[in-house]
Amino acid sequence: RLLRTAAGVREVARQLGRKPIKLQVKSVMIVTKARDNTLVTLTREVAHWLMKTPRYGSDLGVNVYVDEKLQKSKRFDAEGLIKSEPRFASMLKYWTPDLCWTSPEKFDLVLTLGGDGTVLFTSWLFQRVVPPILSFSLGSLGFMTNFPFDMYKEHLDKVLIEGMRINMRMRFTCTVYRDSKGQMEEAEQFEVLNELVIDRGPSPYVSNLELYGDDELLTVIQADGCIFSTPTGSTAYSLSAGGSLVHPDIPAILLTPICPHTLSFRPMLLTDSMHLRISVPRSSRATAYCAFDGKGRIELKQGDYVILQASQYPFPTVLSSGTEWFESIARTLRWNSRGAQQKAW
């Protein structure tokens, strides 16, 4: 029950980040782009290494779930793997979006191979409880892909043997309500890890959105749109629109307007205990469009609204180091790196 409240989630989150926790990892899920040939080859390599490397006193390793799309892939060659060691037949399994939805507890650890987009996709797969996520980067490290792939064996050995420090990243639960002849009906619901964006879409008219916090009207937003970002998303779209950088441990909802029509509409941070409702007024001459982590564009008609609140299902990522976040922004944004000339003489 404690876990169901924002405060509880936050307190647990803080404790998890402090010291490594040891989990009995028996099944590892691997997420990657099944269409990318290079990634499929690497997925095979990691899966093979995980299954064959002895763990926990056994002479074999851990179970591996790969994307069901790879089941018949020649490049992945599941048959070849099993031929090399018949016992792999019971260890190599396949995940589907449906399985992630119904049985997330089957996965003790999720590896992602790719970029930050693959991490967002993983968040989308797990709409409820999320297993710990460890993200490898193939090229340069990203904001969320903090483990270099070329050292995957060392990193995985360390995590499986010594344990891992976890960063419980806040997500938002966004629920769309539609006006059906005056009755509000619940429609789509999404967990977002980066941000909810509501904008004017292709309409030439500026969007006019009413923002309610805990059922009180806070303001009317006249802008091209508005971004509701998690701290994790503060390095993404919100930053482009002028928002501040926010450490992922801070429990806050970032409200960042896109091209606002008033000069005084500064970005704002609200408490994560607030329930927000963003509504298209019935009198508005234009509709609005929602995007959830950049995906799932949905039209909001006059009278419709979205409810946004801190999720009870955070997104646990494995930390590469205690200053991981600072390193990622210095590296990726060149935050405060030197460029300008001295001015004094």
**Positions in 242-281 near a second copy (CB under 8 A):** 242-247, 249-252, 254, 258-271, 273
CB of 200 to a second copy, least distance (A): 10
> Residue 1 or residue 343: which is nearer to a second copy going by CB?
343
Q: Quickly tell me which residue has 């409702």 as its tokens.
A: 277
In the numeric block, which tokens belong to residue 255? 């409200």
Contacts of 46 (CB under 8 A, 6+ apart): 30, 111, 113, 152
Pick the binder of a second copy from 291, 300, 318, 319 (CB under 8 A): 291
3-state secondary structure of 122: helix
According to the binding rule CB under 8 A, does residue 334 interact with a second copy? Answer: yes
DSSP 150: G
Sites for a second copy among residues 33-72 (CB under 8 A): none
Query: Interface residues for a second copy in 6-25 (CB under 8 A)?
Result: 7, 11, 14
Phi then psi for 284, rounded to 5 degrees? Answer: -65, 140
Is 29 or 291 the residue whose CB approaches a second copy more closely?
291
Identify which of residues 25 and 276 has a Cβ nearer to a second copy in the complex.
276
The single residue among 37, 38, 189, 240 that binds a second copy, judged by CB under 8 A, is: 240
**Which span (70-78, 99-107, 167-175, 331-339) binds a second copy, by CB under 8 A?**
331-339
One-letter amino acid for residue 111 of the chain: L
Q: Is 293 a catalytic residue?
A: no
Of these residues, 116, 199, 293, 304, which one is catalytic? 116
Residue 294 in contact with a second copy, rule: CB under 8 A: yes
Would you put residue 306 in left (φ > 0), alpha (ψ -120 to 50) or beta?
beta
Which is closer to a second copy, CB of 175 or CB of 219? 219
**Residue 118 found at the interface with a second copy (CB under 8 A):** yes
Residue 1 interacts with a second copy (CB under 8 A): yes or no: no
The footprint of a second copy on this chain (CB under 8 A) covers a number of residues equal to 83
CB of 44 to a second copy, least distance (A): 22
Binding to a second copy in span 126-165, by CB under 8 A: 142-143
Using CB under 8 A as the binding rule, whether residue 117 contacts a second copy is answered as yes
Residue closest to 123 by CA, chosen among 334, 315, 341, 336: 315
Residues 254 and 241: beta-carbon distance below 8 Å:
no
**Minimal CA–CA distance to 309: which of 258, 279, 271, 257?**
271
Q: Quickly tell me which residue has 């499929």 as its tokens.
A: 40
3-state secondary structure at position 225: strand
Q: Is 258 helix (H, G, I), strand (E, B) or coil?
A: strand
Q: Closer CB to a second copy, residue 17 or residue 163? A: 17
From CA 279, how far away is CA 119, in angstroms rounded?
A: 29
- Enumerate the β-bridge partners of residue 112: 31, 135
What size, in residues, is the chain?
345
- State which of positions 175-234 bind a second copy (CB under 8 A): 194, 201-202, 204-206, 213-214, 216, 218-224, 231
| CB nearer a second copy, residue 156 or residue 269 | 269
The answer to whether 276 and 309 have CB atoms below 8 angstroms apart is yes
Q: Which are the catalytic amino acids?
A: 116
